[in-house]
């Protein structure tokens, strides 16, 4: 079903700040839509507009450019798809290979995929060809498909620019331009890429431009003024930023207690379909392994997960075979997964708006859900900006004793052949994931267990090595600065001359750097 689909009751989006939201919902039968679009609406089971659709569609069907704002889950996706299909069907032109007539730009792969699925649903039987391009999957296959007939092109900025520079397709036939989640484009640093694409489309007065965003900030409005033709601002502002069906709660915990409380919450609430959000991907990896050994199967969606694996994990979460999904903010926007009962913020987000989008994954289309946050000393400073944005104080408490349960720690990942202790050979070992205890353990044994020994400041100050041999890592059992370190290095070099010895590591202090999230 469409994540922002019109099947949602308008009242489910929260009481609006204007009289239009209180009026009787507009029926699609009252709008001047082509029969092919009506067929798609009937196929999807839609009959009435949500507030944002009721305000946007009369303008877009009249040919106006629109910059629309509404909270997540209120129908923005369906609004621009209905407008787009109507214009293309009414202005029939011969289809040309690699010359799309409509372009939809989305900030993330998951959102682009979701829009393409919704376009196939609402476009049932209308004969328009939809193509989607994004990173992380078969590059050549997408390029070959794009060279064929295409009416609607959906994609992320990076992959769109890549194919455009190779002249795989051109943008000189664009009749409708859609920018979805425009505020997220700015957050993710895509604004230069976005401007690059917009400057190569048809002029603003020769196309219809639609911009949709959860917030119409000054930057977003400036973008609208530069690349749109006298756009009309349409806003549907609820009395509260988050959906009304969400029950918010928060626990103040120490860093060392978070995992115990998380598992206690899963025991108490029942992990039927739970989204757990973290700020860093190494935290996600550590949580998944710990939950698994404690009887809670979980998978992760982070920036370094292969796209095919991401899609497989999301499908398992949708069909209920995977009860717990751990994710960074890559999954907080644009995804519609029905029946998410709980959203747990294991880490409070650094950006207050990310809180709104995280908790928006539950209580969609009139359902109810729970948003539980854990505020530790590392991220508690984010609480005040979050409460200021959402307009109310989150009910908070300290976890009772029954909620802090005993659990089995995750086993340490096996070392790779080069001596490094990390999930991908680059030092991502999840050290310090669970607070002081993990950090203290690593502090006591870090030099002997983290792979190639790190040179101390005194060693670095002694000048460059006499030969290239001296730059090779020392043995794991010889800490830098010990009197016998030089002898152990000489013995190790002699052992390397044997054909049975392992190849030398190409590491060094830089080899263990964690790239972060």
pLDDT value at position 332? Answer: 62
**Per-residue pLDDT reduced to its tens digit, 182-211:** 888 887 889 999 999 999 999 999 999 999
pLDDT value at position 5? Answer: 42
Separation between Cα atoms, residue 104 and residue 90, nearest integer Å? 19
pLDDT value at position 214? Answer: 76
Q: Does 468 or 257 have the greater pLDDT score? A: 257
Q: Does 318 or 12 have the greater pLDDT score? A: 318
Separation between Cα atoms, residue 375 and residue 345, nearest integer Å? 9
Tell me whether strands 369-375 and 342-345 are parallel, antiparallel or unpaired: parallel
> Residue 33: pLDDT above 80?
yes
**Per-residue pLDDT reduced to its tens digit, 52-64:** 999 999 999 999 9
> Residue 96: pLDDT above 50?
yes
Q: Binning pLDDT at 50, 70 and 90, where does residue 27 land?
A: very high
DSSP assignment of 407-453 equals -PPPPPPPPPTTS--STTSSS---TTTTSHHHHHHHHHHHHHHSSSP
> Residue 474: pLDDT above 80?
no
Separation between Cα atoms, residue 213 and residue 275, nearest integer Å? 23
Q: Does 143 or 311 have the greater pLDDT score? A: 143
Separation between Cα atoms, residue 109 and residue 12, nearest integer Å? 28
Q: Which H/E stretch holds residue 308?
A: helix 307-319
Q: Does 17 or 45 have the greater pLDDT score? A: 45
> Residue 287: pLDDT above 90?
yes
- Going by C-alpha positions, the residue among 347, 352, 356, 307 that lies closest to residue 328 is 347
Q: Binning pLDDT at 50, 70 and 90, where does residue 101 land?
A: very high
> Residue 151: pLDDT above 70?
yes
Q: Binning pLDDT at 50, 70 and 90, where does residue 501 land?
A: very low
**Per-residue pLDDT reduced to its tens digit, 407-438:** 999 888 776 555 444 554 344 443 333 443 34
> Residue 476: pLDDT above 80?
no
pLDDT value at position 499? Answer: 52
- Going by C-alpha positions, the residue among 186, 178, 242 that lies closest to residue 212 is 178
Separation between Cα atoms, residue 367 and residue 159, nearest integer Å? 35
The dotted CATH code for 10-235 is 3.40.50.300
> Residue 465: pLDDT above 70?
no
Residue range 94-111: average pLDDT?
90
Q: Does 467 or 172 have the greater pLDDT score? A: 172
Residue range 298-320: average pLDDT?
87
Q: Range(s) for CATH 3.40.50.300 in the chain?
A: 10-235, 246-403
> Residue 266: pLDDT above 60?
yes
**Per-residue pLDDT reduced to its tens digit, 328-385:** 987 666 567 778 889 999 999 998 888 988 888 887 666 778 999 999 999 999 999 9
pLDDT value at position 503? Answer: 43
Q: Binning pLDDT at 50, 70 and 90, where does residue 137 land?
A: confident
What's the mean pLDDT when you consider all of the chain? Answer: 79
pLDDT value at position 498? Answer: 57
> Residue 37: pLDDT above 80?
yes
Beta bridge partners of 398: none
- Going by C-alpha positions, the residue among 388, 377, 170, 387 that lies closest to residue 255 is 377
Beta bridge partners of 232: 66
Residue range 87-91: average pLDDT?
94
pLDDT value at position 485? Answer: 72
Residue 216 near residue 72, CB atoms below 8 Å: no
Token readout for 425 is 């050979």
Beta strand residue intervals within 190-310, DSSP E: 208-213, 232-235, 246-252, 274-277, 298-301
**Per-residue pLDDT reduced to its tens digit, 214-244:** 778 888 889 999 999 999 999 887 655 676 7
Residue range 459-484: average pLDDT?
43
pLDDT value at position 508? Answer: 40
pLDDT value at position 382? Answer: 95
Task: Give the class (CATH, top level) of 246-403.
Answer: alpha beta
**3-class secondary structure, 168:** coil
> Residue 479: pLDDT above 90?
no
Residue range 138-154: average pLDDT?
92
């Amino acid at each position: 079903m469409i994540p922002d689909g019109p099947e949602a009751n308008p009242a489910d989006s929260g009481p609006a700040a204007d009289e239009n939201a209180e009026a009787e919902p507009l029926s699609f039968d009252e709008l001047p839509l082509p029969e092919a679009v009506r067929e798609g609406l009937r196929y999807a089971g839609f009959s009435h507009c949500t507030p944002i659709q009721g305000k946007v569609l009369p303008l877009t069907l009249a040919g106006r450019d629109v910059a629309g704002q509404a909270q997540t889950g209120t129908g923005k996706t369906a609004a621009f798809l209905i407008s787009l299909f109507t214009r293309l069907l009414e202005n029939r032109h011969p289809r040309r290979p690699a010359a799309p007539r409509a372009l939809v730009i989305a900030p993330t792969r998951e959102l682009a995929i979701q829009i393409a699925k919704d376009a196939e649903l609402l476009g049932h039987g209308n004969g328009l060809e939809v193509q989607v391009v994004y990173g992380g999957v078969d590059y050549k296959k997408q390029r070959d498909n794009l060279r064929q007939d295409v009416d609607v092109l959906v994609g992320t900025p990076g992959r769109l620019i890549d194919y455009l520079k190779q002249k795989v397709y051109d943008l000189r036939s664009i009749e409708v331009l859609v920018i979805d989640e425009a505020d997220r484009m700015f957050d993710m640093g895509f604004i230069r890429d976005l401007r690059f694409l917009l400057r190569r489309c048809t002029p603003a007065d020769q196309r219809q431009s639609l911009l949709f965003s959860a917030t119409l900030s000054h930057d977003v409005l400036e973008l609208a003024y530069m690349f749109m033709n006298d756009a009309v601002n349409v806003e549907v502002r609820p009395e509260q930023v988050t959906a009304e069906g969400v029950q918010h709660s928060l626990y103040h915990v120490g860093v060392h207690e978070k995992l115990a409380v998380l598992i206690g919450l899963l025991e108490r609430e029942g992990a039927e379909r739970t989204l757990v959000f973290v700020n860093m991907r190494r935290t996600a990896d550590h949580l998944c392994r710990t939950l698994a050994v404690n009887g809670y199967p979980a998978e992760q969606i982070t920036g370094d997960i292969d796209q095919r694996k991401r899609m497989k994990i999301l499908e398992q979460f949708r069909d209920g075979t995977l009860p717990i999904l751990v994710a960074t903010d890559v999954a907080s926007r644009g995804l519609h997964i029905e029946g998410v009962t709980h959203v747990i913020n294991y880490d409070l987000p650094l950006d207050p708006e990310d809180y709104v989008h995280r908790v928006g994954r539950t209580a969609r289309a009139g359902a109810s859900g729970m948003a539980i946050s854990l505020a530790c000393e590392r991220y508690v400073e984010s609480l005040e900006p979050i409460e200021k944005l959402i307009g109310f104080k989150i009910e908070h408490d300290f976890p009772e004793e029954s909620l802090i349960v005993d659990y089995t720690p995750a086993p340490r990942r096996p070392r790779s052949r080069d001596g490094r202790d990390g999930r991908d050979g680059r030092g991502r070992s999840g050290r310090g994931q669970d607070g002081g205890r993990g950090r203290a353990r690593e502090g006591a044994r870090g030099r002997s267990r983290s792979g190639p020994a790190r040179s101390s400041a005194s060693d670095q100050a002694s000048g460059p090595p006499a030969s290239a041999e001296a730059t090779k890592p020392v043995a794991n059992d010889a800490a830098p600065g010990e009197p016998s370190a030089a002898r152990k290095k000489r013995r190790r070099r002699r052992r390397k001359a044997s054909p049975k010895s392992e190849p030398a590591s190409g590491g060094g202090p830089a080899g263990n750097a964690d790239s972060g999230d």
